[in-house]
Each structure stands twice: as C-alpha cells, then as structure tokens.
Structure 1
Amino acid sequence: MISNTILSWPFATLVTALVMASIVLRLLRIRQLHVGLPLVVILVLVALLPMPWGPGMWARSYLGEFSISMGLLAVMFMQHRLGSPWYLPTSELRALNVLIVATAAWFYPMSLGLTYLDPYGLGFGDFRFSTALLLVGLAAWVMRAYGICLMLVAAQCAFALRLLPSDNLWDYLLDPWLTAWSLGWLVRDYLLTRKARRTPVAAAA
C-alpha cells in the first residue's frame, strides 16, 4: 500500500483548497459558470503551493484538518452556485445538511463525555459502525438522496486509502467547520424559504 504520508498531506491540502475556493466564490457573489470555474481552478492551484507561498498549508495550520465531507460539500456548493448542469437540487442539499447537523448534535456531546458511550472510538474500524453506515447509505439510496450516498462512499474510500492524516473514520465524515457550515446553510435556506412564501401574500394584499 502507498505510504500514508505520501498521499495524506497533499490530499488534505486539496480538500482545504476546495473549501477556500468555495468561500471566495461566495464572497465575490459569482454565479456565472464561465467566470467561476476558471477562478476556482486558479484558486485551488494557488492554494496547493507549498509553504510559505500556498495559503492551503497556512489554513490547515490555523484551522485544523477538514473532513472529506467538507470538501465534497464545498464542491456541491460551488456546483449549485454556478448553475452546473449536474449539481444537486436544493432538496437533496437540504437533506444532506440536516443529516450532518443531526449527527453532530449527537456525536460531539457523546464524544466529550456526556455519557459512557464514546462514539469516536468506533471510528477506528468497529464493525458495528461500518454496518450502521451501510444501512444509512442503503436508506439514502432508496430515498434517492444521492448526495448522502456520495458523501458516505467517498469518506469510507478515502479512509480505506488513508488519504487524510487521521486514522479515525469520524475525521473523514465530520468536523466542526462542516457542522457550522451546514447549520448556517440551513438557517439561510429557512429564511429564504420563509421570505419566498411571504412575497406572494404581500403581493396579493
């Protein structure tokens, strides 16, 4: 097997670069595919430069490691924002973010000692944990929640190849920044949906 060190550091920096590119895309309010796509490519290439030139390694030093799920969510966000023909619909993004927030609401209190159960320990290769993820993936596939399926499969494949520095599957699935991002997206989605519902009523009045 290829050494963990050889693959983990550049791949982890790539995940960070994708997250940084999605944030810049949002801050600049770019929605045109022909403008946004070249910009994303340039930002990712710049972020992948080694220290001290590339911002990707600096971001990892100060913010910590992002999960595979965070990288995928950043890509989904960019696709959705730029109107790519193969982006996930809003309903699937909503379901994906709800699952992330709900999982984090259970996982972090348990891992911090709320009970004697330590879910983080299950991430080192516990068969029960892998079975539970398989069942969640099957349920998502039946419900056609393909974003959830993609995230679960990608995280477990990356874990099998040890593409991140961590040896725990949870670090491939979840991280605090991902939770904050998903929660913020859900709040924004709720406010926009509420505003859209009020607009026809106001117009009719």
Structure 2
Amino acid sequence: MIPVSLQSCLSFALIVFLLLPNRRIPMRYRGPLLLVVLVIGIIPLPTGLSLAGYLRGLTDELSITAMVWMLAGTALRLGWLQPGSSACSWQLCSVFAVLGVLLYPASMGVGMLDTYGWGYSPRMLIALIGMLALALLLLGNMLGVLILTLATLAFTLGIKASDNYWDYLIDPFVVFYSIGVLAANSIAALLKWRRSQFAPAPQLDEGLD
C-alpha cells in the first residue's frame, strides 16, 4: 500500500505547482521550483503537522485519476509533454462529469439507486470503464486511456486504503474541475456565437458606374 504521507506530499506539491503562475518562469527553473514546493510541504510546522498533512486533512486522499491528471499537467508545464487537442480535453472532462453526476447525487440520497455501492463489487462498473477506455482509445485520447487504466490497475492492486472502486476513479475535485471546464468552454462558445450573430455584415463593393 502506498503510504498516505507520500501521496499527501505529492498531492500538495502538484497542486501548488499547478496553481502557481509558473508559465512566466523560464523552463529551466520549473523543475527546481517543484522540488522546493515538495520540500516545503514535507517540513513539519510548529504544530507538528506539515502543510501536506493539513491538505490531507482537508481533502482526504485524492483519486488515482486526480493524481495522474495532475502529473500529466505537471509534465506539460515542465516541457516533457506536448499539449493535447481541445477535443481530447473535452472528451476527458465529459467522461468524468458524467461519472460524477452518476455517483454523487445518488450517494447523497437522490433517487433509489446506491451507485456508490457498485464500487464494492465493481464487475459491471469495470466493464463500463473498459468500454469508455476503448472509446477513448478509438478517439486517440491516450491520456484518458492511461487514467482509466491506471485507476483500475491501482484498485486491483489495492494501493489505497479504500476498497471501493469509485474512490480510485473519481473524487469531488475531479468532478468539479471537469464540470467547470465544460461550463467555461460552453459559455465561451456561446459568447463567440452571439458576437458572430451581431457582427455587422460585410459590405459588398458597389459596381462601377
């Protein structure tokens, strides 16, 4: 089992690094910046608990999906990966937004289905995720395939304290991020469409007399 402290420190470092405006920092300094943030998260405070420990208390253990997604974002910031297409981002956010809508309302008592309970004997759920991974593979979304595969593999190996497949697959932060990206993109597309509708029509050149 992966020690909670190790995952907490890694989560803290990745979250802070991705939130910092490091796009303005030269590429050669970004790796050392990530190491500095990691060390800051590990150092115990006078209370005896580190910043990573406080984050762990606020967020609990993040899902494997969140960890892999943040690692991919960090690799992108460090120049180790090339940016993916907007279509791939839309596909990935759509998958986890739908999974979140499937899980969280039912787990809070909305409806008659206990979708969280599906994660304890997740054969059908794993089959569904396998079909989603296959669809993403056909679409060329390799990050999505990697995330779903690693989450399933982690559940099989039991590297987290939870024995529920959902806890490996999604968490509230993944779902809120996915819904937020989809909403922001939809609003941007709507505003662009409205501007195009109200834009003055180009005037045709009058014919020569």
Change (3 A) 1:11 1:157: farther
Which residue identity does 1:25 align to in structure 2?
Answer: L
Aligned: 1:117 with 2:120? no
Which residue identity does 2:173 align to in structure 1?
Answer: W
Instruction: Name 2:161's counterpart in structure 1.
Output: 165
Deviations 1:61-105 (A, max 9, x none): 122221111112222333444554444333212211121112111
Deviations 1:159-200 (A, max 9, x none): 22322221111011111112122223334444566677869x
Whole-angstrom CA distance in 1 between matches of 2:186 and 2:111: 32
In the alignment of these two chains, the number of paired residues is 198
Which residue among 58, 61, 66 is the counterpart of 2:54?
Answer: 58
Whole-angstrom CA distance in 2 between matches of 1:139 and 1:18: 32
> In 2, are the aligned partners of 1:104 and 1:174 still within 8 Å (CA)?
yes
Alignment of 1:65-144 (within 5 A): 65-81=61-77, 83-144=79-140
Q: Aligned with 2:62: secondary structure?
A: coil
Select between 65-74 and 44-53 the one with higher mean Cα deviation.
Answer: 44-53
With normalisation by structure 2, the TM-score equals 0.77
With normalisation by structure 1, the TM-score equals 0.78
Which residue among 169, 178, 181 is the counterpart of 1:182?
Answer: 178
Deviations 1:22-42 (A, max 9, x none): 44324x554643232321232
Q: Aligned with 2:164: secondary structure?
A: coil
Select between 17-26 and 154-163 the one with higher mean Cα deviation.
Answer: 17-26
> In 1, are the aligned partners of 2:12 and 2:38 still within 8 Å (CA)?
yes
Q: Whose Rg is larger?
A: 2
Select between 119-128 and 31-40 the one with higher mean Cα deviation.
Answer: 31-40
Instruction: Name 1:13's counterpart in structure 2.
Output: 8
**What is the deviation of 1:145?**
1.4
Q: Structure 2: which 5+ residue stretches go unaligned?
A: 203-209
Change (3 A) 1:126 1:183: closer
> In 2, are the aligned partners of 1:8 and 1:162 still within 8 Å (CA)?
no
Which residue among 27, 38, 48 is the counterpart of 1:33?
Answer: 27
Change (3 A) 1:167 1:49: farther
Q: Structure 1: which 5+ residue stretches go unaligned?
A: none
The percent identity for this pair of structures is: 23
Change (3 A) 1:85 1:148: closer
**What is the deviation of 1:50?**
5.8
